Chains A and B, each alone.
Chain A
Amino acid sequence: MPKVKIPRKNISLDMTAMCDMAFLLLTFFILTSNFKPQEPVAVDIPSSADTLQLPKDSMMVISLDKDGNIFFGLGNQNERQDLIRLVNEQLKLDLDDKEMKKFSNLETFGIPFSQMKTYLNKEGSLAEGQPGIPADSTNNELKKWIFYAKQVRDGMRISIRGDMKSSFKDTQKIIHTLQDLRLSKISFVTNLEGTPDIKL
């Protein structure tokens, strides 16, 4: 075979256009993703084989940490503003606009009504040190929050994010509160685990 030397030509392709397009796509995806909000409580959720995925629209989240503190959250900021305005006038919490705005920045909160005004005027990050919403039969503030959230938008999905180690006594408080409000359809937020094979 004759040795044919293929003359090597230098082909240069201008990649600038490709790079521009790539960065435009990247910007699009960054802007359409949302940051995870800072949460006041660390919740270790259990896993389950249920493959139901939560829909994107906003829902009520009742979080329960392992010490039994209850936190309430709403996904949508506008709904949070409506909620705090409604709660402010119905329960006469005496909050001004600045405090209500600060409240609507918290996606999840666990502040009793009595401490609300002092807490919202606190300096620094509001995320730490929240004591939790009481849900005892004598003072069930959680019931009021759920009731007013239902008035903001009826038919909102209710989900419970509980820690693996939280005691059932505290879960039972939440369940009784929901039963008192005649709400029976709820969801437990879980991590996904593999579905096992069942041989009948």
Chain B
Amino acid sequence: MAEINTGEGGGKDGRKRSKKMSTKVDMTPMVDLAFLLITFFMVSTSFTRKYAMDIQLPQKTQDPAQQQKVPESRTINLILGDKDKIYWYEDPKNPQLKLTNYSDKGLREVLLNKRRSVDSMIVIVKPMGTSTYKNLVDVMDEVKITSKKLYYSIVDVSKEDEELVSKFEGK
């Protein structure tokens, strides 16, 4: 190991005698520092890769008759409201609105129950204007976690849905 050799200055006290110091410098801490910095840069450049979630938006078609017909028994409609509330119903012909939230016991349970009853479910997400971006990302996240095959669609809230919600809240 590198070391600093001090000259054997075993001279008598009081006598001015210049000690011959060796100029060797211990490089070990310098190398340690350099490797620490390397490791930092190696790791931090791989950390800056962002994560993302791929979403498929539905095609906008002018003619409602051209829209793909889906079997309504397999659908579940989620209406995202304000203050992290989710209203959902299964049967569009006779919608019974129910309320749930973003906790583990809430939306995830609802989607898992739907998946247990119907094999490949279709989730229709209708965010209202009062919901936040985080709500949308969280819902898409839950859909991706609970579905094996992803069938979903993000659409605008219709007038009927808005009326259902206001009727539900008005109770």
Contacts and interface: CB of A to CB of B under 8 A. Distances in A.
Interface of A: 10-16, 18-19, 22-23, 25-26, 29-30, 32-34, 36, 46, 48-54, 56, 64, 159, 162-169, 171-172, 175, 178-180, 182-192, 195-196, 198, 200
Contact of B131 (A10, A19, A54, A168): A168
A192 B51 contact: yes
Question: Looking at B27, B35, B53, B146, which has the most chain A CB atoms within 10 Å of its CB?
Answer: B53
A190 B51 contact: yes
Instruction: Indicate the member of A25, A32, A36, A178 with the most B CB atoms within 10 Å.
Output: A25
B54 interface: yes
A185 B127 CA distance: 19
Given A13-B1, A165-B132, A171-B133, A49 B141 contact: yes
Contacts of B116: 200
Contacts of A51: 51
By Cβ-Cβ distance, the 3 closest A-B pairs, closest first, are A15-B27, A22-B34, A29-B41
Given A26-B34, A50-B53, A187-B53, A64 B48 contact: no
A198 B145 contact: yes
28 contacts: A10-B3, A12-B2, A16-B27, A22-B34, A26-B37, A29-B42, A33-B45, A48-B53, A48-B137, A49-B141, A49-B145, A50-B141, A53-B52, A64-B133, A165-B133, A166-B132, A168-B129, A169-B129, A171-B136, A175-B154, A185-B56, A186-B54, A186-B57, A187-B54, A187-B55, A189-B50, A189-B52, A198-B146
Given A18-B27, A168-B80, 20 more contacts: A18-B31, A22-B31, A26-B38, A26-B41, A29-B38, A32-B45, A33-B44, A53-B51, A64-B133, A162-B137, A168-B132, A171-B136, A172-B127, A175-B154, A179-B60, A185-B57, A187-B52, A188-B52, A196-B145, A198-B145
B72 interface: no
Given A29-B41, A168-B132, A172-B156, A23 B34 contact: yes
A192 B53 CA distance: 10
A123 to B, nearest CB: 31
Contact of B133 (A16, A30, A46): A46
B52 A184 contact: no
